[in-house]
């Protein structure tokens, strides 16, 4: 005979469920589940970065049982780096700007682009990294403004991804974002207002639960390998116009707002297409537009397609893992070498 559902029965069931959740939470904290730093908003520059007043060290983990573990550290300026960035550096500054690739939390502390490039360039430059996960081209422009005003870089290196161009445009009627976005009409690009980020206590507690972090990050669906890309088409006239207008606005701003600074665009390679042995028409078109608009404003382009394609043909080693499309250690080395060689060419008479 089934036990009647009484108040005492429900209280006992709730207590057992709470105990089970506590045990799972403790287990996943010991594992540990992937963790990340706290986000803060710098009102002076209307800029998202990490909060150096709270948790400054932790591990980002991925996979079942946290198989991949990489350490991160938030420096006093609010960025993932093993060292602090003095505003008045004795050596010229090379500033890296971009999204999670530049942020480098998929590699152990000091093993991302900043660390590799610093070792490659030696004492000639101070390499500072200003990467923030999910930054689009529009937000890269916002970060670059902060970098210019605070650190006055000699060289500004911006990691550029094809998908970050059109995604910089806010959807019509969308509320203001915490990062810079563009509003677009044919032939016209405007900067949308930035909404200050105010952390919510309840959401922060929820996001810091190991149970949430494990199933949101460690157990997420793995990167779906490297399928042969489906046949693609070139951009149609309207899409090409929007793509060109956004590039033109951003590159012009980068040039005008950074006088005396060498602006270098690092264009990621179409890695899936390299692995498949075929390059899509849209990819070729987008890269040609980027080079053309960059040339119009005197911006340098470091195209990773050549070195990555050559390296893959030579040894068949991929530049990302099978579970993550971020650059792996091999990918970071290729990028660092390509940027360092471009910097070396700047010194040639």
- Assess contact for 271 and 318: CB atoms under 8 A: yes
Spatial contact of 3 and 189, defined as CB atoms under 8 Å apart: no
Mean pLDDT of 111-122: 96
* pLDDT of 347: 76
In this prediction, residue 11 has a pLDDT band, given cuts at 50, 70 and 90, of: confident
Residue 90, pLDDT score: 82
Task: Using the predicted structure, report yes or no on whether residue 52 has a pLDDT greater than 90.
Answer: yes
Q: What is the pLDDT of residues 152-184, one digit of tens each?
A: 999 999 999 999 999 999 998 889 999 999 999
pLDDT band at 2 (very low <50, low <70, confident <90, very high): low
How would residue 206 be classed by pLDDT, with cut points 50, 70 and 90?
low
What 3-state DSSP class applies to 98?
strand
Mean pLDDT of the chain: 88
For residues 158 and 267, the answer to whether their CB atoms sit within 8 Å is: no
pTM value > 0.85: yes
Q: For residues 134-151, give the mean pLDDT.
A: 97
Sign, CA torsion 242/246/249/252: negative
More confident residue, 230 or 204: 204
| Boundaries of every domain in the chain | 35-347
Mean pLDDT for the stretch of residues 45-59: 93
Q: Per-residue confidence at 30, pLDDT binned at 50, 70, 90?
A: low
Side-chain half-sphere of 297: how many Cα atoms within 13 Å? 25
What pLDDT score does 316 carry? 95
- Check whether 44 has a pLDDT greater than 60: yes
Q: Compute the Cα dihedral for 186, 188, 189, 190 and give only its sign.
A: negative
* Band (5; pLDDT cuts 50, 70, 90): low
Q: b vs e for 271-309, b when ≥16 Cβ sit within 10 Å of the residue's Cβ?
A: bbbbbeeebbebbebbbebbeebbeebebbbbbbbebbb
Please confirm whether the linkage preceding 32 is cis (ω < 30° from 0). yes
Instruction: Give domain 35-347's CATH superfamily.
Output: SGNH hydrolase (3.40.50.1110)
Q: Which pLDDT score is estimated for 114? A: 97
């Amino acid at each position: 005979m089934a036990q009647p559902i009484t108040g005492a029965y429900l209280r006992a069931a709730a207590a057992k469920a709470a105990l089970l959740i506590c045990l799972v939470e403790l287990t996943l904290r010991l594992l540990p589940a992937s963790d990340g730093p706290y986000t803060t908003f710098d009102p002076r520059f209307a800029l998202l970065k990490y909060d150096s007043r709270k948790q400054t060290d932790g591990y980002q983990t991925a996979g079942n049982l946290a198989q991949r573990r990489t350490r991160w550290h938030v420096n006093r300026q609010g960025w993932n780096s093993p060292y602090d960035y003095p505003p008045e550096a004795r050596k010229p500054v090379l500033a890296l700007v971009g999204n999670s690739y530049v942020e480098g939390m998929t590699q152990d502390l000091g093993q991302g682009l900043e660390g590799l490039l610093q070792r490659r360039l030696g004492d000639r430059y101070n390499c500072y990294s200003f990467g923030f996960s999910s930054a689009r081209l529009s937000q890269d422009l916002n970060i670059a403004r902060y970098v210019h005003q605070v650190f006055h870089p000699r060289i500004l290196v911006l990691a550029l991804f094809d998908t970050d161009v059109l995604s910089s445009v806010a959807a019509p009627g969308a509320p203001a974002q915490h990062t810079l976005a563009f509003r677009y009409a044919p032939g016209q690009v405007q900067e949308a207002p930035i909404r200050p980020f105010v952390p919510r206590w309840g959401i922060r507690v929820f996001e810091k639960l190991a149970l949430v972090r494990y199933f949101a990050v460690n157990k997420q669906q793995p990167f779906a390998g490297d399928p042969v890309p489906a046949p693609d088409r070139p951009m149609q006239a309207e899409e090409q116009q929007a793509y060109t207008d956004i590039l033109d606005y951003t590159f012009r701003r980068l040039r005008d707002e950074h006088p005396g600074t060498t602006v270098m665009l690092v264009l990621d390679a179409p890695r899936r297409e390299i692995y498949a042995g075929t390059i899509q028409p849209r990819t070729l078109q987008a890269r040609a537009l980027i080079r053309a608009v960059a040339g119009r404003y005197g911006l340098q382009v470091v195209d990773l397609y050549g070195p990555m394609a050559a390296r893959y043909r030579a040894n068949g080693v991929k530049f990302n893992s099978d579970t993550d499309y971020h650059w792996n250690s091999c990918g970071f080395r290729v990028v660092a070498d390509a940027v360092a060689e471009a910097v070396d060419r700047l010194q040639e008479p």
